[in-house]
Amino acid sequence: MSARGFNAIGVWSLYRTEMARMVRTVWQSIATPVITTALYFIVFGGAIGSRMQHVGGVGYGAFIVPGLVMLSLLTQSISNASIAIYFPKFTRTVFEILSAPISPGEAVLAYVGAAATKSIILALIILVTATFFVHLEILHPFWMIAFLVLTAIAFALFGFIIGIWAENFEQLAIVPSLVITPLTFLGGAFYSIDMLPQPWRTVSLFNPVVYLVSGFRWSFYGLGDVGVEKSLLFTLLFIGLCLGLLVWIFRTGYRLKP
């Protein structure tokens, strides 16, 4: 936003360009989450579900659905947003974006909005796929959508920062593969942290993904490992932190300007 007003056409053009990338790979975009979800249900639902039928009164197959959605949402949001800004840096076309009649805030809105949209679409595909395996119940649909959208935005912002920070493809992939995915598996995506003995349960509370998974699961079944207020507060704080960091990046030109 600047004195000239909001450049809706510029934002829409960037947004549409990013969304077109998903359309060009629509088969891969849809087939991958469907096949992955089916495999998770076969492995976790069959192997573990046969031994642990219920968690907190919820069937194990249904219990892991919010964790599956959150795993995909986090990784896809980061991946979509980081690649979106990294490739213009890699091809040196980022200078055209920086010199275009569009503000940094508008550019972030377009890129992050497209990344979050694509991640939400994939998350909804996973939810639909899950209904073929288990009976899903959503007690709080408003909060389910709210957590879905807020988490996608939060980690798309985080991915955008990673894309600016990364100087090569190895750095681009290291955070999602070596940080986010392990934190998700250890964050109660496929189990309740109440099942852990002390001190591991207390240690798990320092894992930020616990709060995301817990809040999202609460919206389905009314149960979570931490209070829903804490989950919502953490998500909003993370969004605020990422926005503050992006303001600093664009003010200083960190890894964007020579």
Q: Are 70 and 184 in contact (CB under 8 A)?
A: yes
- The residues pairing with 231 across neighbouring beta strands, listed in sequence order, are none
pLDDT tens track for 105-141: 999 999 999 999 999 999 998 898 888 888 888 999 9
Establish if 2 belongs to a structural domain. no
* Token pair 């119940």 in the structure block, residue: 137
Q: Are 225 and 58 in contact (CB under 8 A)?
A: no
| Predicted structure pTM score | 0.90
Establish if 166 belongs to a structural domain. yes
Most confident of 94-103, 150-159, 196-205: 150-159
Q: How many domains is the chain partitioned into structurally?
A: 1
Q: Are 15 and 102 in contact (CB under 8 A)?
A: no
What mean pLDDT value characterizes the chain? 87
Establish if 258 belongs to a structural domain. no
pLDDT of the residue at 50: 60
Distance CA 232, CA 146 (A): 9
Which residue range(s) make up the domain with 52?
8-252
Establish if 3 belongs to a structural domain. no
Confidence of residue 1 (pLDDT cuts 50, 70, 90): very low
pLDDT tens track for 38-75: 787 777 766 665 666 678 788 888 888 999 899 889 98
Distance CA 60, CA 50 (A): 9
Establish if 63 belongs to a structural domain. yes
Question: Is the pLDDT score of 163 beyond 60?
Answer: yes
Distance CA 127, CA 142 (A): 15
Give the side-chain half-sphere CA count within 13 A for 89. Answer: 23
Establish if 1 belongs to a structural domain. no
Alpha helical stretches, state H, 166-256: 169-175, 181-185, 200-204, 208-221, 228-252
Q: Are 190 and 44 in contact (CB under 8 A)?
A: yes
> What phi and psi values does residue 256 have, to the nearest 5 degrees?
-115, -35
Establish if 215 belongs to a structural domain. yes
Count of residues making up the chain: 258
DSSP secondary structure letter of residue 187: T
Angle, nearest 10°, between helix axes 26-40 and 8-24? 60
Read off the pLDDT of each residue in 98-111 and give the average, rounded to a whole number.
Answer: 87
